[in-house]
């Protein structure tokens, strides 16, 4: 099987768990995903099967949409409800105040990576330092919040939607939101509703996959928003050999089609921008 599956990841599964489960169902080891979700999270997980595993890097979208839930009054070591409570604090916030604070995060800012994450420092994952009780300087990265809005606020629970750049930790964003609200809070639920152009409404459960009730997306479908060049037989023969060709596309990469089939993805040749070189090949 070759193609892309949109999976609605269940809670308490790691992204790797999902891949392992699908590997058994589909009887293939050639399978990978394009964006890790924490075990507590549910939602869109893009899975590439067969020769489309070559697309994992390309389909790791720059922007993702989440619906996050905050439980006010407690802070945990993991920044979500799976961790140990390390702080409790009173809160007294109003809906308008929450909206103002959420809006203050629009645009670019610097975020500190949570200690309980798989980011490596000196070749070691941060969560390994945390489990060993060792201190380490947490890396910082620039994030971009494209859109953010309050969905609901009742008692000690805030629900919000956010469209954020790749690499943004919603747990850390929630921690920063609560600090601005003058209290503490932790993430109690997270749903990834969109990954790039992929929407949760088009995703399938693992049970759907087991029963055969699902649709496989083709390379042509998932690459439709990338500039496409139709090549002739002469150029196709060059592409077959992995040759550098004349660049006839405008962006950094382009999909090459021959006889209406995707045969390769080429990118700008770094030594000469008038030329293009192979990036991903799909010729058997």
Place of tokens 């629009």: 106
Spot the catalytic one: 2, 17, 38, 202: 38
38 catalytically annotated: yes
Structural tokens at position 277:
């070189």
Residues annotated as part of the active site: 38
């Amino acid at each position: 099987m070759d193609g892309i599956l949109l999976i609605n990841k269940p809670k308490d599964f790691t992204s790797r768990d999902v891949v392992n489960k699908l590997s058994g169902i589909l009887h293939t080891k050639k399978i990978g995903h394009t964006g890790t979700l924490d075990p507590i999270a549910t939602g869109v997980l893009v899975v590439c099967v067969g020769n489309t595993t070559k697309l994992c890097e390309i389909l790791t979208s720059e922007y993702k949409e989440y619906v996050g839930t905050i439980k006010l009054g407690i802070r945990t070591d993991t920044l979500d409800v799976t961790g140990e409570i390390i702080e409790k604090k009173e809160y007294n916030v109003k809906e308008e105040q929450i909206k103002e604070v959420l809006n203050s995060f629009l645009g670019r800012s610097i975020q500190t990576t949570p200690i309980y994450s798989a980011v490596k420092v000196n070749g070691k994952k941060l969560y390994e330092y945390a489990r060993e009780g060792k201190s380490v300087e947490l890396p910082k990265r620039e994030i971009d919040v494209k859109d953010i809005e309050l969905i609901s606020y009742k008692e000690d629970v805030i629900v919000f939607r956010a469209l954020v750049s790749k690499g943004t930790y919603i747990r850390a964003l929630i921690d920063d939101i609560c600090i601005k609200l003058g209290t503490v809070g932790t993430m109690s639920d997270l749903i990834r509703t969109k990954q790039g152009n992929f929407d949760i409404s088009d995703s399938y459960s693992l049970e759907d996959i087991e029963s055969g009730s699902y649709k496989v997306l083709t390379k042509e479908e998932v690459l439709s928003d990338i500039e496409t060049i139709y090549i002739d037989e002469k150029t196709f023969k060059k592409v077959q050999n992995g040759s550098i060709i004349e660049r006839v596309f405008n962006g950094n990469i382009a999909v090459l089609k021959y006889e209406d089939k995707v045969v390769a993805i080429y990118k700008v040749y770094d030594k000469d921008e008038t030329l293009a070189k192979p990036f991903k090949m799909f010729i058997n």
